[in-house]
């Protein structure tokens, strides 16, 4: 479980350096801060911002 938490923390810090559309960024930050994250809601938001989707995929591939 600690490895997952570390990975989530690392991805979150990288996400904070990205500049997606402000509205989407604010919604994503709110969802993550709630703690009980619903992946389906996040996927919907990521699909709205193609640059964000590309960056997330790139970061995920680098983390593997």
The answer to whether the pTM exceeds 0.75 is: no
Q: What confidence score (pLDDT) does residue 33 get?
A: 83
Q: What confidence score (pLDDT) does residue 16 get?
A: 64
Give the count of domains, the chain. 1
Q: What's the CA gap between 59 and 61, in Å, rounded?
A: 5
Q: What's the CA gap between 32 and 26, in Å, rounded?
A: 10
Which structural domain range is residue 15 located in?
2-63
Q: Which residues contact 32 (CB under 8 A, 6 or more apart)?
A: 12
* Residues in the chain with pLDDT values less than 70: 1-6, 14-20, 64
């Amino acid at each position: 479980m600690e490895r997952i938490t570390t990975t989530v923390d690392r991805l979150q810090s990288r996400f904070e350096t990205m500049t997606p559309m402000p509205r989407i960024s604010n919604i994503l930050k709110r969802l993550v801060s709630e703690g009980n994250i619903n992946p389906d809601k996040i996927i919907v938001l990521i699909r709205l911002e193609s640059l964000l989707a590309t960056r997330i995929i790139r970061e995920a591939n680098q983390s593997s």
